[in-house]
Structure formats: C-alpha cells, structure tokens
Amino acid sequence: MNPNQLNDICLRQLTFSGVHEAETVAVLSRGAERADYADSFMFAAQQLGASTYHMRLPDATDAAGAWAVGESGLAGNPLAVDALKQADMLVDLTFLLFSKEQFAIQDAGTRILTCVEPAPLLAKLMPTKELRERVEVGDEILKKASTMRITSPHGTDVTYQLGVYPTMTEYGYTDTPGRWDHWPAAFVFTGGADDGVDGTIVLAPGDVLLPFNTYVQNPVKLTIEKGFITDIRGVDGASSLDADLLAAYIKSFDDPRGYGMSHVGWGLDERAQWHGLTQFPGGMGMELRSFYGNVMFSIGPNNELGGPNDTPCHFDIPMRGCSLFLDDEPIVVDGDIVVPDMRPGGK
C-alpha cells in the first residue's frame, strides 16, 4: 500500500480511537516487523496533536512455527512494561493478547489497539460506529444469558454454561481507558464455566482453522466433556486429515490445558468475507473471525476473560451455517443473525 494511504487509514483509526492533544501514543513492534505501520501511526498521532514514540523489541528467539499465544517479548522486561503503562494509548504491532504484560498495561488505564493484519485488509474493514453499536447490542444480550447452545445440520450440539466470565467486544477501535481491541474486528464473545461445556462439535468443510489458516476439507468430530475436548476424529469412522492435524498440533504442546474450551461467540461484519483467506494472505485471519453470522468457538486459554487457563496452545474456529441460542432464544439461525438490532441497517 502506498505510504500516503497507510497514513490516511492510521489517521482515521486514531481518530476513531479518540486520540487528542496532550495524549501520548506508544507504538510497540518486534524485530523488523511492520516498521511502515509504526511510522504511519506515529505520523497520525502527531497530526492529532499527541506525543508519540516507538518501542522496538528484539526479534523472537524461540523456534518459529507454533503460534504460542501469551509469549509477548515483554516478559522479564519490567522497565519496558512500565514505560508503556505511562502511555494513554498503545498501538500493539506484535499481538500481545493473552500475555500477563498486556493485562498489566491495561490495568494501568492504557487503552490498547492491536494491529497486525495486511494493510489492504485494514483499509477494507475500517471500523464504523454503526458496527460498534451492533456489536454492543450483542454484548448486552450475551451478558444476560446463562446458557449458550450451538447446533448445526452436520451434528454439532454443544452447550456452554455462562455467567462465570465477562463478555468481550471487538469492533476494531478503542476510545475507553484500559480497553483492548483489535483492528479489524466485529464480534462478541464470552467463555463457558471451566467445567461447564459439554456436547459435540462437528467441523464441516469450509469451517476455518486459525492459526493453520486453512479451510476444513474432511469433517471433524470433537467430543467435549466438562469443559475439555476428550476426543478428536473423523465422522462415522471416516479418516480425516484435518482431525489428525488438529490433534497432532494440540498434542505437540504437551499441555493438558491445550484441550480446554476457550472463548465463544459470533461475528457481525457483513463486509467481511468467508472466502477472505484466499484474498489477503499473510495475516492472522481477523476477517474470518468477523464475517457476518459465523459462530466461532476457541480452544485453549481463557485468561483474557479472567480464567485460570494460560496455555500457549490456541485455536479460533469460525464456523458457517450454525445456529446459536441463548437461554433457548435464537440469536443466529443457519448462519444468519435473527436479532434485528444486530443486523445491518437494523432490519
């Protein structure tokens, strides 16, 4: 993307995020990654009259490969964390989510925006106030529920006991002290009680495995008991390469908490495309987490909701064509949101 365009979308982003004179915006990056984003965010912050600086961490030294969430590069670096706590806003170009350091910075009142996706996708999925309002409607509804049931024509039937963990919104900008968000995003989620998720999930062709960044090709049956996955296999005795890959990946962490059930919710952005992974390679799949009417469940840590599971093994799995009920009230039916206030244009 041309640097002027990148400046322009960063300026729009920081305007949405309420940056103003007398604020300090810190930008965090790692190694040589996203130096152009850092420059554009700092330029945008200056245009809005804020002070700004860029903190660059060394490259990760651990073996590349697994997406080990929570290992932030700030661990063991209290001076750096303290500096970031002093900022009003932190633009995180590294993906700090699930790390202790992110929570400490938020607790100090610093708002955090993560931004790691390819620039054309950032431009395509600029936040809007309307989408924020619809995500917040979802938050209000989800907060009040005590159970969530998800079903699908392929055989999914799983129930989450709610009420233990808070709900979280992601609408792609953050103008509230201490609040984290991720650009681009449009979804709402919570987590089931630690021992309160039971049933079966059948992944169908076209459901999405993040961080593999692949579409499921052979159905996968997951058995869930008391909040943990106890079995992963193909359906009706059929072999499934996707089941084998999922099982092998989780096993490689050698951590029983990697089988825990993590966050769960639905996506609301009608501009986000299910086929998006084919169009914007190189990102972490935020378009897929956000596409309208997807039901996304996750595996692994629940510490971002205040839970005890901080395993680095994490999957997000957006699914098509599911139905989601809160206390038996339909919210998503066959992949379509049925609550008018959450639909585009409120219809």
Contacts with ligand G6C by CB under 6 A lie at: 97, 170, 182, 185, 298, 316
Smallest gap from residue 257 Cβ to ligand G6C (A): 15
Smallest gap from residue 170 Cβ to ligand G6C (A): 6
Nearest residue to 101 (alpha-carbon basis) of 131, 80, 127, 86: 80
C-beta of 88 vs 170, nearer to ligand G6C: 170
Nearest residue to 101 (alpha-carbon basis) of 28, 160, 18: 28
- Is the link from the previous residue into 184 a cis peptide, with omega within 30 of 0? yes
C-beta of 13 vs 298, nearer to ligand G6C: 298
**How many other CB atoms sit within 10 Å of the CB of residue 7?**
18
Smallest gap from residue 288 Cβ to ligand G6C (A): 10
C-beta of 101 vs 170, nearer to ligand G6C: 170
Tokens 């953050």: give the residue.
174
Which residue lies nearest ligand G6C, judged by its C-beta? Answer: 182
C-beta of 170 vs 194, nearer to ligand G6C: 170
Smallest gap from residue 312 Cβ to ligand G6C (A): 12
Tokens 């996506």: give the residue.
267
C-beta of 219 vs 258, nearer to ligand G6C: 258
- Between CA 138 and CA 96 the distance in angstroms is 25
User: Where would I find the beta strands (DSSP E) of 163-299?
Assistant: 168-170, 180-182, 187-191, 197-203, 208-209, 214-215, 220-225, 228-233, 261-267, 295-299
CA torsion, ordered 337, 339, 343, 346, to nearest 10 deg: 170
**How many other CB atoms sit within 10 Å of the CB of residue 150?**
21
Smallest gap from residue 99 Cβ to ligand G6C (A): 12
C-beta of 23 vs 304, nearer to ligand G6C: 304
- Between CA 305 and CA 66 the distance in angstroms is 23
Smallest gap from residue 185 Cβ to ligand G6C (A): 5
Smallest gap from residue 290 Cβ to ligand G6C (A): 9
Pairing of strands 51-57, 24-30: parallel
User: Residue 127: phi, psi to the nearest 5?
Assistant: -65, 160
Smallest gap from residue 293 Cβ to ligand G6C (A): 18
First to last CA, the chain: 35
C-beta of 132 vs 182, nearer to ligand G6C: 182
Tokens 């005590």: give the residue.
146
C-beta of 185 vs 337, nearer to ligand G6C: 185
